[in-house]
Structure 1
């Protein structure tokens, strides 16, 4: 499967590299775009869910990397839930080789 990383900047400026086992994240995130916190979490939930299912279809098991990444996103997002107007910026999408998409 073609792994991808989406690099995000949380509302306080902290950056994080997030993992996806599939390029499906390209359908849900665009570099340079900002998303309301709840929308970012929902897009992550959808994209990583699809990515995990693609792994399951190909290899017969759901990708724990996708579910672990989603859990981490949800935990981090919860810490910003009291910040009004919190947004998450997607800084870049890169392939496993580190090249920007």
Structure 2
């Protein structure tokens, strides 16, 4: 199963590289696109859940690393919860 990384730019200018065990993230995010924080969270949660489910279908167990990545994204996003119109930009995909 091809894994990938995607780099995002948070509202405060921090760049983070994130992990996915599947290329499915490409169906939910577009490099160069900015997403309102709630939309970004919904898209990454769905993409990483599908990615983990694909691992489970192939190997018989979910991908804990994908779920850990989702948890890290959600935790970091709490920093911006009170920022009106906070956006996250997807910078690039690395496969």
CA distance in 2, matches of 1:66, 1:38: 19
CA distance in 1, matches of 2:36, 2:47: 16
TM-score under structure 2 length normalisation = 0.99
**Aligned-CA RMSD value:** 0.4
- Considering fraction of residues, name the structure with more helix: 2
When the two structures are aligned, how many residues end up with a matched partner? 95
Secondary structure of the structure 1 residue equivalent to 2:11 = coil
Q: How far did residue 54 of structure 1 move?
A: 0.1
Match of 1:46 in 2: 46
Secondary structure of the structure 2 residue equivalent to 1:6 = strand
Cα distance per residue 1:34-62 (max 9 Å; x no partner): 00000000000000000000000000000
Structure 1 unaligned spans of 5+: 96-101
TM-score under structure 1 length normalisation = 0.93
CA distance in 2, matches of 1:42, 1:93: 18
Q: How far did residue 11 of structure 1 move?
A: 0.1
Secondary structure of the structure 1 residue equivalent to 2:80 = coil
Structure 2 unaligned spans of 5+: none
Match of 1:98 in 2: none
Q: Which runs of 4+ in 1 moved over 4 A?
A: none
Match of 1:71 in 2: 71
CA distance in 2, matches of 1:77, 1:40: 10
